[in-house]
Amino acid sequence: MNLSLENKHFVVMGVANKRSIAWGIAEALHSAGARIIFTYGKERSKKNIDKLLEGLDDASRHLVLQCDVTDDAAIDETFATIKEKLGVLHGVAHSVAFANKEELEGEFVNTSREGFLLAQNISSYSLTAIARAARPLMTEGGSIITISYLGGERVVKNYNVMGVAKASLEASVMYLANDLGQDGIRVNAISAGPIRTLSAKGVSDFNTVAKVIEERAPLRRSITKEDVAGSALFLFSDLSTAVTGEVLHVDSGYHTIG
Ligand code: NDP
Ligand code: N5H
């Protein structure tokens, strides 16, 4: 049993900038010796990833590929490239979500059909599409993780359409874990507490929710991307070989209180 991920290959999806949860996970994977395939949606993210990689020693072992998770052809192409360049894949960090800003405030009942489906497509269905594409490359077993939020389990003001997407994401984790378990592939979610990232910036009430964690969560402290990255490393490593279909709360214990 060990935490070294040397000679192991991991896809990290969802680095937009240095604050991204996915970047925290990438730094942890890099330190553990893994080889990383970064995927991004927007060109601006690629620029940021390239710049961030300049700050790492031996970053030339990593790859950066575009992959819009709503595009099946792009997903196929991404995993075909990974197969060609690396052969085997050991893990995937899916850290991607999107909803229209207008639908992250006010009443959930006003969610449009289009907005609902957009949030589900990017934030939930993409995990299933990615798991299907990754499966044939995980010939030595594997570990897939995604990032969820408490608003998928209970009503959190303003989370609205994204709460329903996270509920569907967490249910997908169970069904995917059941399908892929026979291939030695584990599928888990980390339910993270509030972290100030680009996505979180500008959404209504982020500051209020974050302050409540500091005041009332059992640990009475905020959550960092490094906290999430530590748990991600555990889920990627041999320390968690019998953990699958799980939602691990990395939230200073907030989900346990009223
Ligand atoms: P970021 O804004 O850093 O990351 C969101 C990522 O989603 C971006 O890299 C963005 O890439 C990507 N993305 C959106 N649409 C697409 C698409 N169509 N194809 C590919 N990538 C796409 O924010 P976070 O790190 O906060 O978010 C990561 C995950 O963590 C999300 O699932 C979020 O819901 C979850 N989470 C965040 C919490 C927080 O407090 N920050 C708390 C709990 C969960 P690009 O711009 O290149 O398209
Ligand atoms: C209760 C809260 C606060 C209210 C709800 C926030 C929901 C945030 C999630 C989504 C992913 C944010 C989002 O889609 C923002 C976009 O509409 C606008 N932003 C962008 O387009 C930027 C540029 C790109 C990079 O963003 C994406 N996503 O592509 C929840 C918070 C306390 C916790 C939280 C912030 C949870 C979460 O899921 O992220």
pLDDT at 148 over 90: yes
Ligand 2 touching residue 76 (CB < 6 A):
no
Structural tokens at position 18: 């240095």
Ligand 2 touching residue 198 (CB < 6 A):
yes
153 CA to centre of ligand 1 in angstroms = 19
Q: How does residue 1 score in pLDDT terms, banded at 50, 70 and 90? A: low
In percent, the amount of the chain with pLDDT more than 90 equals 97
What is the rounded average pLDDT of the residues 109-129?
98
Ligand 2 touching residue 11 (CB < 6 A):
no
Homologous superfamily (CATH) for 9-249: NAD(P)-binding Rossmann-like Domain (3.40.50.720)
Range of lowest pLDDT (75-89, 192-206, 231-245): 192-206
96 CA to centre of ligand 1 in angstroms = 4
Respond yes or no: is residue 159 known to be catalytic: yes
Respond yes or no: is residue 149 known to be catalytic: yes
Domain boundaries, the chain: 9-249
Residue 3's pLDDT is 75
Q: How does residue 2 score in pLDDT terms, banded at 50, 70 and 90? A: low
Residues 6+ positions from 177 with CB-CB distance below 8 Å: 186, 187, 188, 244, 245
What is the rounded average pLDDT of the residues 5-18?
98
In the chain, DSSP assigns E strands to 9-13, 35-40, 63-66, 91-94, 142-148, 185-192, 247-250
